[in-house]
Structure 1
Amino acid sequence: MSELDTPMTCPSTAARAGHREPRKSSPSTISPATSSGPLISLSWTDHVTGHQGHLVVDRLVRGVASGGLRMREGCTLDEVAGLARGMTMKEALHYDVDDPAVRYIPLGGAKGGIDCDPQDPEAYGVLVRYMRAMRPYIENMWTTGEDLGLTQDLVDRAAAEAGLISSVQAVYPLLDDEAAARQRLADAFAVEIDGIGLDELVGGCGVAESLLAALDRTGTPRAGTRVSVQGLGTMGGATARFLSRAGLKVVAVADIKGTIANPDGLDVEALLAARDAFGTVDRAALRPADTELPGDAWLAADAEVLVPAAVSYAVDTTNEASVRARWIVEAANMPVLPEAEELLAARGITVLPDVVVNSGTNAWWWWTLFGDIGADADEAFAYTRRAMRALIDQMLARAEADGTTPRAAAHAIVADRLPVIAERFGWYS
């Protein structure tokens, strides 16, 4: 059986057969504008290893949807569906409905996921076979890229092996000058700053600027503000760098081996330099005053800010009581479960939601590809900072006016914009 012959099961079929997984609540609460459900939802089983993969296309705009591909053990269809809804929201939030000069027009939202440990020796083969199976969707409607467990280099290599031109080739027909746009994006991916690629840094820049905008809005000084970060991979590492350079004190970081802490502040640059490809820090790089704590210690750190930047569902009703921070900044997708967020809000803890906070990476791809910015780090960071600060200010102002949480305010903004996008570009075309 070829990879394209590997069975794909619609969730409704699986449910009738009694095989549907129990639903897990998603923090990306469905807004009225997206409550009709996804356009496409399917699961795939690898005929070689038995690993499962999923694809959900929540919405199409101009026939295309955008969303990364994650790989982690335990990834479920419901998780991917929540992430796809989140991508619809992120695209809508970055659409400036009143500025005709902006070249980037939003796409729809989608997401892919593979239930496999990315460090499994079989993982790359599973990735290639998944992309072969999903090739018709990637060629025609789904633009994808790196996400949890996968780097863009790995996605690109697997895409080539699967016979694809690019993991974002579905968007090429929408470009005015495809050759120039592809070269511009390739040039941008080649940019490095202090040993880290621009593609890794823009997401962290967006997360950091989101927090800085919130702190500035409340008059909270940057100096002395302590931060604890879960995950020192692509997003967490870049966020830690930008926050440290902005004058905040990173006092704890967690990776798969545990939490590294120092109340006087960690040497973020040294830790970044000591990471492996999966974001795990070589403990030989620790200073004498740095301490090693259990993996979940980051959550209860004596810090004003928590940045969950690794897995989904990191904060739930079993552990939210240990949070002592004032702010939780969702660098990861769906890290705070809704029931936990209600309890946190009751204690005066503000969650800055993923659909806004970590949307900078996706937006940077399209700003660059469509030509709103060039392959230049300073231009990319400046554009990202302006966009994220404007979004945070708009969201928090809406939350104050409506008497709601920032997440509810973000969803309200999306609910306002999606009908405008549908009217201008169609619901499915």
Structure 2
Amino acid sequence: MTPPSTAPLISLTWTDHVTGTEGYLVVDRLVRGVSSGGLRMRQGCTLAEVAGLARGMTMKEALHFDADDTGVRYIPLGGAKGGIDCDPRAPEAYGILVRFLRAVRPYVESVWTTGEDLGLSQDLVDRAAAEAGLVSTVQAVFPLLDDEAAARRRLADAFAVTVDGIGLDELVGGCGVAESALVALDRAGVAYRDARVSLQGLGTMGGATARFLSRAGLTVVAVADVKGTIANPAGLDVESLLAARDAFGTVDRGALRPGDEELPADAWLAADAEVLVPAAVSYAVDAVKQASVRARWIVEAANMPVLPDAEALLARRGITVLPDVVVNSGTNAWWWWTLFGDIGPDADEAFAHTRRAMRSLIGTVLERAEADGCTPRAAAHALVADRLPVMAERFGWYA
């Protein structure tokens, strides 16, 4: 029997005829003919980066598949990702986004469901998608729904929910990241009040994570944005920093309190904290920078923030990396739990479901890592290797 190919199913590069900007789409795998994965925009984005993210999405979907649970409506999809090599703050960025979506429209209509990722908000993606002639960025999944109209209303209603000024769609991912960190603390017997946190990024994922960890009783001692690191060993006022952010997660320094310090951009790495949360860019921790880390756990809220050679060195130092494919999978899962009808458009229900699911998933990964004597990332890969053949046999690649 020929082993399955590890190459992506679809890989394409698009060149904008107006600016020469390149964009990329990689569909790593299909399940029932559909894949899932966001669209990012950042200067320096590459096809290799998007391919790695697409493979990560395949893993995230598979990790949320439970072959024994027949009572759920959401059946995980395949993995995909899109990327555009452009600074999202550039004046021409929106036009490029519209033209990219117009060019890949056949894929969005048939096989690729997408949404916000690094550099883009869901509102912006939705507006550009409408201008590009798309009904929805997740319309490829509509044929799999029992009641499309009801499902679309449910998702729209969920996106309209806000909690203390922040949209539910922004909060669920951070809820999942925070729960992952809390499970690690629980297993180690560390009281929340004794745990300090340092984060890179106070945007969608980082901001929500900071809120949930702070409200759980942890002390946030440092956050970093494009202007540098804001630190206070006695603890930062998370809510005031969240209220002082712009659309890209940059904090207005006028909101800082006495005792808050402004430090260099990489100072968040060396913070005196138990938990480190990279929640901004990929490749943030390399083999050199890892030497600065003093934390006990690195919780990957961003996609691919810790490079493999850095992770190996961290493991030798007794520092555990909780991998992105597990930790930040809650946002994607929440879309589908809501659309397929496993939960309704209610914040309390969404948070409770996310906490249960993420606590179970991270617990399973850590138990597998302990049993196999490996890293949590290796354990997650092993779980995916177990589940993908079952998904393929039960549901098939194509609709």
TM exceeding 0.5 = yes
d(CA) in 2 for partners of 1:178 and 1:334? 34
Distance 1:406 1:34, change over 3 A: farther
**Which residue does 1:363 correspond to in 2?**
333
Matches within 5 A, 1:146-165: 146-165=116-135
Structure 1 counterpart of 2:140? 170
Report how far residue 220 of structure 1 moved: 1.0
SS class of match (1:375): coil
Alpha-carbon distance in 2 for matches of 1:228, 1:383: 26
Alpha-carbon distance in structure 2 between the residues aligned to 1:336 and 1:280 = 22
Does the CA-based 8 Å contact 1:59-1:428 persist in structure 2?
no
Distance 1:264 1:93 in 2: 37
Q: Which residue of 2 aligns with 1:406?
A: 376
Letter in 2 for 1:39: L
* Alignment correspondent of 1:88: 58
Asked if residue 142 in structure 1 is aligned to residue 138 in structure 2, the reply is: no
Q: Which residue of 2 aligns with 1:324?
A: 294
Q: How far does residue 90 in structure 1 lie from its aligned partner after superposition? A: 0.4
SS in 2 for 1:364: helix
What residue in structure 1 maps to residue 198 of structure 2?
228
Q: Please, which runs of 5 or more residues in structure 2 have no aligned partner? A: none
Equivalent of residue 259 in structure 2, options 257, 269, 289: 289
Q: How does 1:387-402 map to 2 (within 5 A)?
A: 387-402=357-372
Q: Residue 30 of structure 2 contacts residue 78 of structure 2 at CA under 8 Å; is this kept in 1?
A: yes
Superposition map of 1:216-255 within 5 A: 216-255=186-225
1:374 aligns with 2:344: yes
Q: Residue 58 of structure 1: which of 25, 28, 37 is its match?
A: 28
**What is the number of equivalent residue pairs in this alignment?**
397
Q: Output the CA distance in 1 between the equivalents of 2:121 and 2:4.
A: 29
The CA distance in 1 between the partners of 2:191 and 2:131, in whole Å, is 50
Q: Deviations over 1:224-272 (max 9, x none)?
A: 2010000000000000000000000000000000000000000000000
Q: Write the mapping of 1:255-294 to structure 2, written as runs, cut at 5 A.
A: 255-294=225-264
The answer as to 2:317 corresponding to 1:347 is yes
1:398-419 CA deviation, whole Å, 9 max, x = no partner?
0000000000000100000000
Give the distance between the partners of 2:231 and 2:20, measured in 1 at CA.
Answer: 40
**Residue from 338, 347, 351 that aligns with 2:308:** 338
SS of corresponding position for 2:60: helix
Q: Is the 8 A contact 2:111 2:140 kept in 1?
A: yes
CA distance in 1 between counterparts of 2:397 and 2:351 reads 33
Does structure 2 retain, via aligned residues, the 8 Å contact 1:88–1:108?
Answer: yes
Matched ranges for 1:25-104 at <5 A: 36-104=6-74
* Aligned-pair identity (%): 83
How many Å separate the matches in 2 of 1:111 and 1:121? 24
**CA contact under 8 A between 2:221 and 2:233: conserved in structure 1?**
yes
CA contact 1:210–1:357 (8 Å) conserved in 2: yes
Distance 2:162 2:258 in 1: 31
User: What residue in structure 1 maps to residue 386 of structure 2?
Assistant: 416
State the 1:36 CA deviation.
Answer: 1.8
Alpha-carbon separation, structure 2, partners of 1:109 and 1:311: 20
Deviation, 1:427, is: 3.2
Write out the 4+ residue segments of structure 1 that deviate beyond 4 Å after TM superposition: none
Query: Corresponding residue for 1:18?
Result: none
In structure 2, the residue matched to 1:7 is none
What TM-score results when the alignment is normalised by the length of structure 1? 0.92
State how far apart, in whole Å, the 2-side matches of 1:68 and 1:346 are: 33
Letter in 2 for 1:76: T
Deviation string 1:56-82 (CA, Å, 9 cap, x unpaired) is 000000000000000000000000000
The one-letter amino acid paired with 1:254 is A
- The aligned counterpart of 1:113 is 83
TM-score normalised to structure 2 length = 0.99
**Counterpart AA for 1:358:** N
> Against the structure 1 CA distance between its residues 287 and 133, is the aligned structure 2 distance closer, same or farther, given a 3 Å change threshold?
same
Rounded Cα–Cα distance in structure 1 between residues aligned with 2:35 and 2:313? 34
Contact 1:96 1:102 in 2 (8 A): no
1:91-131 CA-to-partner distances (Å, cap 9, x unmatched) read 01111110111000011000000000000000000000000
Find the counterpart in structure 1 of residue 165 from structure 2: 195
Specify the code of the residue in structure 2 equivalent to 1:318: V
Residue from 202, 212, 233 that aligns with 2:182 = 212
Note if contact 1:34-1:85 (Cα within 8 Å) is conserved in structure 2.
Answer: no
SS of residue matched to 1:289: coil
Give 1:35 deviation, angstroms: 5.6
Aligned-pair RMSD on alpha carbons?
0.8
Structure 1, unaligned runs of 5 or more? 1-32
